[in-house]
């Protein structure tokens, strides 16, 4: 498997940021880390190996970025306002720096799908729903799409506009809604085993149903817990059958 690590100084985040790339061809899958983890998390936790056949076959080229959750929503020493401003800088970094990097290393027309597990699923969904003109879909695994559950009671416009469960019900921009409706790749997956909360995924699914946005909502049942082995199997299945 072809692997590269690229680093550059991000002017938007004012720090060096790494991106690990796996593969040589295929649609681009942009994976956002869980919690406070880093750009090598999906490799170190075995997920990249679990989907290696799809990477080697040229079906997908995977891009793994760094998280800055420890500098935003998961930093207990920052105010809620500071956390929100920092997170918005991360969004801008993805849109203005990472996406052009993906375009330059694939093609300007290549499909880019966001993906992630746990907190990474929230970020992946938020990135997609805010910019369906940039991304073509999302694979969210075991996500909670209500950002306010991470903010210790703090709530402002930055929380609202980064929390899909809050802003999507009020969204009336037809251009965005039509892009959602034309996507074949809105996949929201959960289990109902240990430490899973399928109600979070169902809540987002109900919002999308109310907007007449076609999507796939799967509950893999009580045998699928909130852990890496489940996410290995889920992502491998979706790459095998949906792309």
Give the full edge-to-edge strand order of the sheet including 15-22.
3-10, 15-22, 60-65, 27-32, 112-117, 137-141, 186-190, 216-219
pLDDT of 36 higher than 80: no
- From its phi and psi, is residue 212 left (phi > 0), alpha (psi between -120 and 50) or beta? left
- Residue 100 near residue 76, CB atoms below 8 Å: no
- Looking at residue 211, its pLDDT comes to 97
Domain boundaries, the chain: 3-241
In this predicted model, what pLDDT tens digit does every residue of 168-196 receive, in sequence order? 999 999 999 999 999 999 999 999 999 99
Question: Residues near 2 by Cβ (< 8 Å), separated by ≥ 6?
Answer: 21, 22, 23, 24
As given in the structure block, the two tokens for residue 210 are 């109310």
User: Distances in Å between the alpha carbon of 31 and those of 157, 199, 207?
Assistant: 26, 23, 24
**Which residue's entry shows tokens 């991304």?**
135
Kindly report whether the global pTM for this prediction surpasses the value 0.85. yes
- Looking at residue 116, its pLDDT comes to 98
- Looking at residue 202, its pLDDT comes to 98
pLDDT of 37 higher than 90: no
- Residue 146 near residue 165, CB atoms below 8 Å: yes
CATH superfamily of the domain spanning 3-241: Alpha/Beta hydrolase fold, catalytic domain (3.40.50.1820)
Q: CA-to-CA distance for 164 and 82, rounded, in angstroms?
A: 20
In this predicted model, what pLDDT tens digit does every residue of 195-214 receive, in sequence order? 999 999 999 999 999 999 99
- Looking at residue 93, its pLDDT comes to 98
In this predicted model, what pLDDT tens digit does every residue of 60-106 receive, in sequence order? 999 999 999 999 999 999 999 999 999 999 999 999 999 999 999 99
């Amino acid at each position: 498997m072809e692997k590269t690590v690229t680093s550059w100084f991000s002017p938007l985040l004012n720090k060096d940021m790494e991106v690990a790339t796996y593969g040589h061809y295929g649609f681009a899958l942009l994976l956002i880390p869980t919690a406070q983890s880093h750009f090598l998390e999906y490799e170190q936790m075995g997920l990249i190996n679990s989907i290696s056949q799809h990477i080697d076959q040229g079906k997908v080229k995977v891009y793994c970025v760094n998280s800055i959750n420890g500098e935003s929503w998961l930093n207990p020493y920052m105010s809620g306002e500071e956390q929100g401003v920092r997170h918005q800088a991360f969004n801008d970094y993805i849109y203005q720096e990472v996406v052009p990097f993906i375009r330059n290393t694939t093609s300007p027309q290549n499909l880019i799908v966001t993906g992630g597990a746990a907190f990474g699923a929230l970020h992946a969904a938020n990135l997609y729903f805010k910019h369906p003109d940039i991304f073509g879909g999302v694979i969210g695994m075991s996500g909670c799409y209500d950002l306010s559950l991470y903010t210790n009671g703090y709530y402002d416009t930055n929380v609202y506009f980064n929390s899909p469960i809050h802003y999507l019900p009020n969204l009336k921009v037809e251009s965005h809604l039509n892009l959602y409706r034309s996507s074949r790749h809105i996949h929201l997956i959960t289990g109902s085993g240990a430490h899973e909360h399928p109600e979070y995924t169902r809540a987002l699914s109900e919002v999308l149903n109310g907007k007449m946005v076609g999507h796939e909502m799967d509950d893999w049942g009580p045998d699928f817990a909130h852990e890496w082995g489940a996410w290995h199997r889920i992502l491998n299945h979706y790459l095998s059958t949906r792309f």
